Amino acid sequence: MYCIKIRNFFQNKRGIITITSAIIFPLIIILMAIVFEMSNIYLEKERLQAVIDRALLDTVTMIKLKNIEDVVKNVGPVNTIWTKNLKYELEHSDFSSDVQNVIDDTSMKLESDSNFKTLSITAISQYKMPFKICNIHLLCPKNKYVTVPVLSSMKIGRNEGSDIDLMIVLDVSSSMDDNFMKPEEAPCSRLEVAKKSIRKMLEDFRKVPNYANVFRTGSVGFNDMVQFPMPLKRGLKRIYNDIKKYRAFGSTNSYVGMKYAWEQLYGNPQDTKDRKKIVIFLTDGENMIINATRKTIELCNDMKKKKAVIYSIALAVDNKEVLQGCSSSGNVYAADDAQSLVQAYSLIGKDVMKDEYIKYVR
């Protein structure tokens, strides 16, 4: 009788559904667990990729490229920088509880081309990530971890003669105190927007490897006289901080500003060899001093004959004679509002950095 009941159970629909459910539901649960776990692994890999990319970018910007051959032969200093940057990024990420394991599972190597003109830096991680969501490792007790492979590689280098002398020539006449924002936006003067745009451009320059030695920067404000001149010196920090000190007043005389730039770039012939000369010139009005436009253009032409590159920005100005006369390309960046001014400095900055590069290989 008992056997008959069991046979009947298997034969009726309820029994079939019950048995099918008993088989399928666990399989569905296992499948969902696998999907969730794989999704978690993918997300963790993406997070780790971002962490390693940031650490690698921080590292390459700190490498001194004076002698790439020495850098490749003596990896120790770069490895120290890399480990420090990786640890910092991990401590400020989702991996803060597993910092040392990630560091132990990650290696870094340096390679160069045969002429030692470019340097490749590669980070390889084989992070052993423990299963987290559904404890799948209980199904396979020997496999409590999954290896998460991550590769990040960058190529950095400098073209010959790419060290840069940069002079910023900035109009600080009284008209630069005019509001440059749209009616619905908070007021901000032309000069303030220009200073913020310059600082943003300088921040971008910091992405250049060994930027403190690559760049020598100077600046000068002009109205009817030279205002707050800053001579050429190595690095970016001084200009970044002191550009904020400019104030708008007086009339316009671009000649005195351009003359100071010429003196800084070419005043010492022994100090000009093999350095790219760049001037970024901004004004928002016509010269108020007799012959100032002609004399400014003459100075610009002299610098261009000496292979200087001059970028001109017209800040809401109709008469662009002096700007067009000075510009190396004959073209002028027209900025009629705050957004276009920020963009103008950004585009100029990218053009300046075209010989200084960091290339993602991954």
- Per residue in 205-219, pLDDT (tens digit) is 987 877 888 899 999
Compute the average pLDDT of residues 30-34: 69
- Is 248 within a domain? yes
The H-assigned helical ranges of the chain are: 2-11, 13-60, 68-73, 76-91, 99-104, 190-205, 211-214, 237-242, 254-266, 292-305, 321-326, 338-352
**In the numeric block, which tokens belong to residue 48?**
């780790």
- Is 361 within a domain? no
- Is 266 within a domain? yes
Instruction: Tell me: pLDDT of 184 over 80.
Output: yes
Task: Choose between 348 and 184: higher pLDDT.
Answer: 348
Instruction: Tell me: pLDDT of 300 over 50.
Output: yes
Of residues 83, 96, 80, 81, the one with CA closest to residue 48: 96
How sure is the predictor about 131, in pLDDT bands with cuts at 50, 70 and 90? low
Task: Choose between 133 and 124: higher pLDDT.
Answer: 124
- Is 3 within a domain? no
Same domain, 42 and 84: yes
pTM of the predicted protein model:
0.62
pLDDT given at position 22: 66
Task: Choose between 160 and 246: higher pLDDT.
Answer: 246
Task: Choose between 9 and 280: higher pLDDT.
Answer: 280
Same domain, 196 and 334: yes
Task: Choose between 24 and 128: higher pLDDT.
Answer: 128
pLDDT given at position 240: 94
Boundary residue ending a domain (129, 157, 185): 157
pLDDT given at position 270: 66
Instruction: Tell me: pLDDT of 157 over 90.
Output: no
pLDDT given at position 63: 78
**Cα 353 to Cα 64, 98, 356, distances in angstroms:** 17, 38, 5
pLDDT given at position 170: 98
Domain count of the chain?
A: 2
Same domain, 86 and 172: no
Same domain, 34 and 129: yes
Same domain, 134 and 256: no
Domain that holds residue 18: 12-157
Task: Choose between 41 and 311: higher pLDDT.
Answer: 311
Residues 174-199, buried b or exposed e (16+ Cβ, 10 A)?
ebbeeebbeeeeeeebbbbbbbbbbb
How sure is the predictor about 228, in pLDDT bands with cuts at 50, 70 and 90? very high
Same domain, 329 and 234: yes
Least confident of 23-27, 62-66, 130-134, 357-361: 357-361
Of residues 127, 119, 126, the one with CA closest to residue 59: 119
* DSSP-assigned states of every residue in 49-95: HHHHHHHHHHHHTT---S-HHHHHH--HHHHHHHHHHHHHHHHTSTT
- As separate numbers, helices (DSSP H) first and strands (DSSP E) second, the chain gives 12, 10
Compute the average pLDDT of residues 107-113: 88
Look at the block and give the residue holding tokens 């920005």: 313
- C-alpha neighbours within 13 Å on the C-beta side of residue 282: 29
Average pLDDT along the chain = 84
Highest averaged pLDDT of the listed ranges 35-44, 159-168, 227-236? 227-236
**Cα 312 to Cα 20, 171, 284, 329, 339, distances in angstroms:** 78, 12, 11, 9, 17
Same domain, 153 and 190: no
CB–CB of 353/209 below 8 Å? no
Same domain, 283 and 325: yes
**In the numeric block, which tokens belong to residue 58?**
């921080």
Instruction: Tell me: pLDDT of 359 over 70.
Output: no
Same domain, 90 and 133: yes
How sure is the predictor about 357, in pLDDT bands with cuts at 50, 70 and 90? low
Same domain, 126 and 220: no
Same domain, 248 and 205: yes
Highest averaged pLDDT of the listed ranges 28-42, 80-94, 127-141, 145-159? 80-94
- CATH number of domain containing 272: 3.40.50.410
Q: Dihedral (C-alpha) 295, 336, 190, 225: value to the nearest 10 degrees?
A: 10
- Is 291 within a domain? yes
How sure is the predictor about 134, in pLDDT bands with cuts at 50, 70 and 90? low
Distance from CA of residue 6 to its chain's centroid? 73
Boundary residue ending a domain (157, 174, 202): 157
**In the numeric block, which tokens belong to residue 352?**
């300046």
How far apart are alpha carbons 231 and 239 in whole angstroms? Answer: 10
Task: Choose between 74 and 68: higher pLDDT.
Answer: 74
Task: Choose between 277 and 12: higher pLDDT.
Answer: 277
How far apart are alpha carbons 218 and 237 in whole angstroms? Answer: 11
pLDDT given at position 130: 73
Compute the average pLDDT of residues 245-269: 94
Task: Give percent of the chain above pLDDT 70.
Answer: 82
Least confident of 127-136, 293-302, 342-351: 127-136
CB–CB of 108/151 below 8 Å? no
Highest averaged pLDDT of the listed ranges 7-21, 28-42, 328-342? 328-342
Give the pLDDT confidence of 325-339 residue by residue, as tens digits.
Answer: 999 987 789 999 999
Rg (CA), the chain: 31
- Is 246 within a domain? yes
pLDDT given at position 9: 47
Helix (H) or strand (E) holding 337: none
**Cα 296 to Cα 103, 145, 191, 280, 325, distances in angstroms:** 57, 69, 21, 14, 9
Boundary residue ending a domain (109, 136, 157): 157
- Is 283 within a domain? yes
- Is 362 within a domain? no
Same domain, 120 and 197: no
How sure is the predictor about 250, in pLDDT bands with cuts at 50, 70 and 90? very high
